[in-house]
Chains A and B, each alone.
Chain A
Amino acid sequence: MLTESARMTTAQELSFRIQEPNSRQRAVKIIALDKPSAAMVDQLAKKAWHGAEFFTSLSFTSDKAPGSGEGEALKAWLGDLAGRTQDLVTEVEKSDFVVVITAAGEDARAVTVISDACQMFHKSLLGLVVPQDGTSEAETEVSLKHLRPHTRMLVVAHGVDYIEVMLTALRA
């Protein structure tokens, strides 16, 4: 008589695997950290996604009146493709995980603000560094250095096509 393992691992038995979806739609926020990556995000957003939301700009304002005497706390705002402005903290809170994209050689230091928000709500932060034509390894390394302390997964992605593949694989 066949053991349970021998029987259950046949292709025939596996055809009985339940066909119902085993996961629900994720809320994935994809944020460009600089202008070149905003162009990539803009391009990606035109594809069909399962609820992923794309943001092409990150800006800051102070929530205290200048000269009020108290320490100024920054508020961060995300700009979406429709030109609307959304509160970063609210968007991170609503997310399942967050992806940041930076073009190698650009200033990626704004990731610290996103990282703080992710930590506050215990969300994973994934970082993608995309080398541009002509960017050096040293420039790529500077971008990695900015992202490294903040991300759970850091990837050097050669081209937008990999970002699309990755987001698809993650059911974004």
Chain B
Amino acid sequence: MLKKEQNDYLCQTGPGTPMGNLFRCYWMPALLAEELPEPDCPPVRVKLLSERLIAFRDTEGRLGLIDEFCAHRGPSLWFGRNEECGLRCPYHGWKFDVTGQCVDVPSEPAESGYAKKIKLKSYPLVELGGVLWTYMGPPEKQPAMPEFEFATVPLNQTFSSKRFQECNWLQAMEGGIDSSHVSFLHRGDLANDPLFKGAAGNKYNLGDLSPVFEVVETDGGLLIGARRNAEDDQYYWRITPYVMPCYTGVPPRGDHPLHGHFWVPIDDESCWAWSYDYHPTRPLTEGEVDAMKAGKGVHVRYVPGTYRPLANKDNDYLMDRAAQKAGRTFSGVEGIGMQDASLQESMGPICDRTKENLVGTDNGIIMARHRLMRAAKALAEKGTIPPGVDTAHQKVRQAALLLKRNVPYKEGAKEALIAKKGVRQTTV
């Protein structure tokens, strides 16, 4: 349970808000590289942290993320012509480069220098791991580029997608650190999904519906360990890393690629649910990539030409009551990603946490909220750089393993929880 003012504090990420300032300390995924595939390709509208922007790749391949609206009379530059190293507004021909600098005002003599006095707000946009990342904070505080493992392995070992989610970022992110829902909501998929099935660990998920949790703070966020009973005096541990403010890793299954999410606020009532899959030591197989593109695993199928899920609230998420009754899906919604999204969106644009009744096993969620609020306050009051900015905090890895019951997971999984180049994931 949160008080309304606490809920507002965590959910509002627009400019000038405490959480908005916190988010503006980090590099965040903004677009897939495929959205700006080549020089002078069409520009793309982007809304992040309640700011409307336009992204484009100029003639020389440079990336720009600038204020969406022309500085002259305010039309959207989405209608712009991306040509000759700049985006030209089709209304009166004003032209802007990737830094937002106006480089041409046709109605004024070039010699007047008028264009130099016009500049749109811009943010850096950098390609890494098939994702275009932006940093929306003060330039003098720009941190080093992110080093999350999914973004730093060779491109043939990683696959990312994103889906439009019609609710506040926090209720979506909280699903990513809520390990106990897997045994219910996704139970049908453990046996059927090509990116989940066949793992030896699945039987423990299905066999023990009351996991026991252990939450530990880390420098960058949290480790949430969920243990289930296993044979031979062992526990089956699934360990979820959370890196502030919005990165989560899903513990692996067998040799399937590792997956997880970034939950990036678009505005206070919608977010991008980024989903990644990667393997630390081998290229993804053609079959795996095909499955990801087909919306399996944590990915979804799209409405053609968009990143909106094909199953969405306008079609009741293609609810299949027969599949629900037969147990093929637990909720009647197909696909792990949409099973999560449908329930999270059903909470409303911004979940009313004054009405929730958390239980002890929700401590991961309680602690994540606490750390976010604490970090936002420390940033506001003392300028403290928040956890998760330091790239050392990002070199974490999710793990699934069997440990003797007398071995604590923090000790037994110590090496498994660190991302190391060329070292395979620890998994069951």
Contacts and interface: CB of A to CB of B under 8 A. Distances in A.
A153 interface: yes
A92 B400 CA distance: 35
B212 interface: yes
Given A14-B348, A141-B408, A154 B313 contact: no
A84 B124 CA distance: 64
A17 B355 contact: yes
Q: Which of A4, A6, A23 has most chain B Cβ within 10 Å?
A: A6
Contact of A148 (B216, B315, B362, B408): B408
B316 interface: yes
Contacts of A145: 406, 408
B217 A170 contact: no
A145 B359 CA distance: 23
A68 interface: no
A4 B350 CA distance: 18
A9 B166 contact: yes
B360 A11 contact: no
Interface stretch (A57-65, A73-81, A158-166): A158-166
A156 interface: yes
A4 B315 CA distance: 9
B310 interface: no
A153 B357 contact: no
A155 B215 contact: yes
Interface string A1-44: 01111101111011001000011000000000000000000000
B367 interface: yes
B349 A23 contact: no
Interface in B184-230: 210, 212-217
B410 interface: yes
Contacts of B317: 5
Contacts, number: 104
B182 interface: no
B367 A155 contact: yes
Contacts of A171: 1, 357-358
A11 B358 contact: no
Nearest to A5: B313
B352 interface: yes
A9 B345 contact: yes
Interface string B346-386: 10111010010111111100110110000000000000000
A2 B361 CA distance: 37
B227 to A, nearest CB: 9
Interface residues of B, number: 41
A153 B215 contact: yes
A124 interface: yes
Q: Which of B166, B215, B269, B359 has most chain A Cβ within 10 Å?
A: B359
For chain A, the bracket of interface size reads 35 or more
A162 B367 contact: yes
A165 B370 CA distance: 7
B423 interface: no
A152 interface: yes
A126 B360 CA distance: 7
Interface string A105-132: 0000000000000000000101000000
Contacts of B405: 149
A155 B214 CA distance: 6
Nearest to A154: B214
Nearest to A21: B355
A154 B213 contact: yes
B350 A155 contact: no
Q: Which of B345, B346, B366 has most chain A Cβ within 10 Å?
A: B366
Contacts of B217: 156, 158
A170 B313 contact: no
B361 A152 contact: yes
Given A9-B348, A166-B363, A166-B366, A141 B411 contact: yes
Given A17-B355, A124-B359, A170-B360, A152 B212 contact: yes
B346 A5 contact: yes
Nearest to A99: B360
B346 A11 contact: no
Contact of A5 (B316, B370, B406): B316
A11 B317 CA distance: 19
B214 A148 contact: yes
Q: Which of A17, A141, A156 has most chain B Cβ within 10 Å?
A: A156
Nearest to A145: B408
6 contacts: A3-B316, A9-B348, A141-B410, A144-B214, A156-B216, A166-B366
Q: 9 tightest A-B contacts by CB?
A: A14-B348, A5-B313, A153-B360, A126-B360, A154-B214, A169-B366, A6-B313, A5-B316, A155-B215
Given A5-B316, A23-B357, A169-B1, 14 more contacts: A6-B313, A8-B346, A9-B346, A9-B348, A11-B350, A14-B348, A126-B360, A141-B408, A153-B212, A155-B367, A169-B362, A170-B360, A170-B366, A171-B1
